[in-house]
Structures are given as structure tokens and as C-alpha cells.
Structure 1
Amino acid sequence: MDLFFQVVLPIMAVFGAGFLLQWIRILDVKSLAAVSIYIFLPALVFTNLYEANFNQGYTIIVIFAFFLLFAMIFFVKMFACIFKWRESVESGAILTTAFMNGGNYGVPVILFCVGEAAMPYAIFLMVLQTMIMNVFGVYYASRSTSGFFRACKTILKMPATYAAVIGIGLQALSINIPESVYSTLTMLSDAAIPLMMVILGMQLASITSLSFNWQVIFAAAGTRMILSPLLAFLFIWLVPGDPVINAVLVIVAAMPSAATTTMYAIEFDSEPDLVSSITLVTTLVSIVTVTVLLNVIT
């Protein structure tokens, strides 16, 4: 129970603060999210990757990200075939199982549980996951060629993508940044994680329409919250690596559905009520599952 009070409860309290704020006083979550995406998140990505010491572990992270993505898609398609889900339901289930909340939720859990040494790996995986979600998430939400090209354009519009490239490039070239500039970036970076956590709480409070198709919810939630971390354990058993990286991979794999998938579902009319329901259920279930997982890996 110590890990619950030391890690999970403080994180849930910050989520709860955002949830209560949005519930009591309705604010424009999109505007606040834009501030995070265009200012604070790029600073967080840049500073962590600029300070990173790149090694073989980052290659393992890339392999893992695609391994987990295709494994989740495979199992959802298997469930869709067994239960005869229509295409839109299958797409909604893929959105909520293949894409986890490795940023707003995963990064603070890793920070509190594993420590600062894990942050470059966690940020790198978060950026990679975001890029994958922008491509495959939009594709499965729209199920069209135009959706794929639109996804590519979305990646090019994301400041975090450029922050990652510049951070890695400057680090590789050993280019020093003036202290006055870097201190500003560090200040923004330090504020990014709590801001992202508050925004997640506000996003959950903004869910207005739900669809409790329990067959799909149980299948998707079980795949996201139980099968996904088990696959992560299988991966690190097959591909032994740094214990810190292993902890990052398992924790991120155990995260609930990404809240941003709801936006894709709404935009492309891919069962938005069902996607919102699965996102909410997996986030609530994670209070138990993440606590159990942290006790196992520590």
C-alpha cells in the first residue's frame, strides 16, 4: 500500500483537481491543451532528449513500441472476428487499446516510481507513441487513404516532433546552448508534467456522452490493462535490457487508454461514445492495476 500512497494517490489527486475544476467551472480545455502542446511539451521533450545519453536502449524502445502496437491491433481484430463487431466498433476498440496514455499519466508515474534517470527514456517513448498515434490512430479512425496523408500532416504540425529532432541533433553535435536560453526551457519543462496531469483530469470531466457496450468494454479494457503489460513482460524477457528501460516499458504498457483518442473518434465518427466509455473505465481501473503493477516491478 505504500506505493499507492506515495505514487498513485498523489497523481490521482492532481487528476482530480483538474476534474473538479472542469466540473465546477467549465473551461475551454482545447485552449489549455494547445498551450501545453505548443509551449510546455516541446520544452519538456527538448530538454530531456538534449540531456540524454543515446544508447542501444533507444533502439529497444522503438522495437517495443511497434511490437506492442501490432500485438494490440491483432488481438482486437481477433475479438472483432469472434464477436462479429462492425468496422466502426473495431476501429474504436483499436483506438483505445493500441494507444495508451504514456504522457499525461505514464510520465508522472515513471518520474515518481523510477526516478529522474528514467525520464529521457519515458519522454522518448512518449514522443514516439504520439507520432505512431497520429499516423495509425487517424488511419483507423478514418479508415481511408486521405486519413493517412492527413495523419502525416498532423505529425509535421506538432512542435514536439521538431523539439525531439532538434534536441537529438544538438546533443549529437555536442552544441552548447546559452545558459539564459536553457534556463527558460528548463523552467517551462518543469511545469509541463503537472500541467499535462491537470489537463487529463479536465478532459475526463469533459466527457459528456457514454455508451456502455460491456462486451466491447470488457474486451478492450482487459486487452489494454492486463494483456498489454503481460506482453511487455514477455518482451523484456525475450529482449533483456537495462532495468530502468524495462521498468519504463512495463509501466507505459500498463497505462489506460489515451484521452486524445476520443478526439479522433469524434472527428471521424468512429464510435465516440464507446471510445469515451472505454477511456473512462480504463482510467478508473488503472487505480488498482497500476498499484499492483508497481508493487510487482519494485
Structure 2
Amino acid sequence: MSVFGFALQKKYRLDLKTVSTVSLYVFLPALVFKTIYETSWNINYLHIGIYIILLTHGLILINYLINKLLKNNTKESTALILSTSFMNNGNIGVPLALLALGQVAFEYSVVIMIVHTIFMSTTGIYIAAKGKASWKIALKKVLQNPIIHAVYIPILFKLSTFPFPDPLFKSIDFFAQGAIPLIMITLSMQLAEIQVTKFDWVKTSLALSLRLIISPLLVFFVLSFFSLDPLLEKVMILQAAMPTAAIITIYALEYDVLPDFVSSITFLSTVFSMITLSIILSFMV
């Protein structure tokens, strides 16, 4: 699929902005809605919600200090935050937890994915939009995005006694099934636009270190102050070590926040995570 998207863009030079807009406003909201609506809720959501907030804000704080030190401009700062603060729990994290740590770990990972998806669909869009606009405009962008409705509407239905209309849910499910393939194709199309000679390897290495090494170490440190289920702690550390979420590339494209840099970090973090995740798992199993 990635090869197809790469070859497609090399040959036809399609308008990536249009592709990303369709992903962000049609397919992603459907995926978010379906995921939230079909998931059972329990007390773990509270623990995991705190975990996601602490991890993401911890990484944003570290990024803030680094951006000040490097004197990055607004777009550079935003791109670094986006590419290091949001991880790929869905495509990689959930199946890896199942294979390496078992069924209960899989269930924990699904909850993490849901909470992280909600956070990424709100805070992530705000950060991306703020890369070239004021906080008021960025907040307006979040509220205008269909994803925000895809977050609260299924929650309201789950809290009520009214079932969501089945014909409408089938339509949403239809679009949701196409979300991941379209995101992966968009990412590979964006990779086709990257010129390796223009890479800032220092910032690239820094971003990869933050996403794959500093992030799980930060969670390990924070967990030392709590007493949770040991398996849940393992899952939290493992999920924190995931590569950059592919969805972030869509945000970078839509809001014009150095999409080349963000997509390169998404790709390279996925490649190098094969090494870092193997090391982390060797201490867990």
C-alpha cells in the first residue's frame, strides 16, 4: 500500500492538500466515531486518561524547552511537538501488545488507543492549527472540525439509553474501514515529495530520540510514583515507545506545518522502532 502511494505520487503529482482534507473531514471522523462507540468503558479509562495527559504534556514541555534552546520558529516548534508527542497506538501498539503480552494487555492497549485518539483529535488539531494562527483561530479550527463531533456524539449515545440508528452507523462504518488505508497512502505520497538532501539531520535525530527513547523513559519515571497493575504499567511503557502516529501527517498537511519533516519522522520512527521496541520488550517478557 505504501509503495502504491509513493509510486502514484511520483508519477502523477497529485494535490496532497485535497487528499489530506478528505481524510481529515470525512474518513478520520468516521474512524474516531466507530472506535469510541464500539468500545466498552471501565475504570481503566480514568487511569489511562491521566497517563495520556501526563505523557503528552510532559513531551510538550520538553519540546518547549528544546524549541527555546534551538530558537525554532513557530512552524518548526509545532512540527517538532506534533511528530514527537503523539504515538501510533492503533496500527502497531494494539497488535504488538496482544502478540507480546497477551489478551489482557491487548484490552488495556485498546483503551489507551481510544483515550489517545480523543486527545489527538482535539489537542493535536489545536497544536497543528496554532502553528500558523492565533489561539482563538486554532480553537475555532478544532470546533469546526467534524472530528470533535465524532468524539462527543458517540459518548452521549453510550451514556444514554438510546441506540444509535443502525443504517447511519453502517454508513459511518463504511468510511471508517477506508480511513487507515487512505492515511497510509497519504503518508507514502508525502514521502515521495521529500528531498533527502534538505533533511535537517540534527532535528530529525532529536525528534526520533524524543519519540522512541525519551517518551518511554518519561513514563517509566512517572509510574515510579504510582502503584498500578504491573501489566498495565508494562503496556503504558510499551505504548509510549510507539512511533509517530500516521494521522499526524494529515494534520501537518492540512495546516501546513512542515509536512515534509513530520512525514519523515513518522516514517523513520516506524523503521527504527523495530529496534527500540525489541529492546524494550526484551525487558518485559
Partner of 2:53: 66
**Do the aligned partners of 1:15 and 1:197 also contact (CA within 8 Å) in 2?**
yes
Q: Alpha-carbon deviations, 1:13-34, whole Å to 9, x = none?
A: x433322332333223332323
- Which range moved further: 128-137 or 255-264? 255-264
Compared CA separation, residues 212 and 197, structure 1 to 2 (3 A): closer
Compared CA separation, residues 87 and 35, structure 1 to 2 (3 A): closer
Partner of 1:107: 90
Correspondent of 1:187 among 174, 190, 202:
174
Partner of 1:25: 12
**Do the aligned partners of 1:93 and 1:216 also contact (CA within 8 Å) in 2?**
no
Q: Alpha-carbon deviations, 1:198-250, whole Å to 9, x = none?
A: 22222222335764333333223211221112223334454425846863663
Q: Distance in 1 between matches of 2:283 and 2:17?
A: 37
Partner-residue secondary structure (3-state), 1:174: coil
Q: Distance in 1 between matches of 2:90 and 2:145?
A: 19
Partner of 1:8: none
Q: Distance in 1 between matches of 2:223 and 2:5?
A: 35
Pairwise CA distance, 1:49: 1.4
Q: Normalising by structure 1, what TM-score?
A: 0.74
Question: What is the identity, as a one-letter code, of the residue corresponding to 1:122?
Answer: M
Correspondent of 2:33 among 14, 33, 46:
46
- Which range moved further: 274-283 or 194-203? 274-283
**Do the aligned partners of 1:92 and 1:275 also contact (CA within 8 Å) in 2?**
no
Compared CA separation, residues 186 and 74, structure 1 to 2 (3 A): closer
Partner of 1:206: 193
Q: Distance in 2 between matches of 1:17 and 1:291?
A: 28
Q: Distance in 2 between matches of 1:62 and 1:210?
A: 40
Partner-residue secondary structure (3-state), 2:249: coil
| 1:76 pairs with 2:63 | yes
Q: Distance in 1 between matches of 2:61 and 2:156?
A: 35
Partner of 2:139: 152
Paired positions, count:
273
Question: What is the identity, as a one-letter code, of the residue corresponding to 2:171?
Answer: T
**Do the aligned partners of 2:86 and 2:244 also contact (CA within 8 Å) in 1?**
yes
Compared CA separation, residues 252 and 32, structure 1 to 2 (3 A): farther
Partner of 1:10: none
Partner of 2:101: none
Question: What is the identity, as a one-letter code, of the residue corresponding to 1:179?
Answer: D
- Which range moved further: 57-66 or 243-252? 243-252
**Do the aligned partners of 2:125 and 2:251 also contact (CA within 8 Å) in 1?**
no
Q: Distance in 2 between matches of 1:175 and 1:138?
A: 35
Identity of aligned residues (%): 26
C-alpha RMSD of matched pairs (Å): 3.4
Counterparts of residues 80-99 of structure 1 (less than 5 Å)? 80=67, 84-88=69-73, 91=77, 94-99=80-85
Question: What is the identity, as a one-letter code, of the residue corresponding to 2:152?
Answer: V
Question: What is the identity, as a one-letter code, of the residue corresponding to 1:131?
Answer: T
Pairwise CA distance, 1:119: 3.7
| 1:247 pairs with 2:235 | yes
Pairwise CA distance, 1:266: 4.1
| 1:216 pairs with 2:203 | yes
Gaps of 5+ in 2: 99-105
Question: What is the identity, as a one-letter code, of the residue corresponding to 1:70?
Answer: H
Q: Normalising by structure 2, what TM-score?
A: 0.77
- Which range moved further: 36-45 or 220-229? 36-45
Question: What is the identity, as a one-letter code, of the residue corresponding to 1:125?
Answer: H
Q: Distance in 1 between matches of 2:209 and 2:67?
A: 14
Correspondent of 1:125 among 116, 130, 146:
116
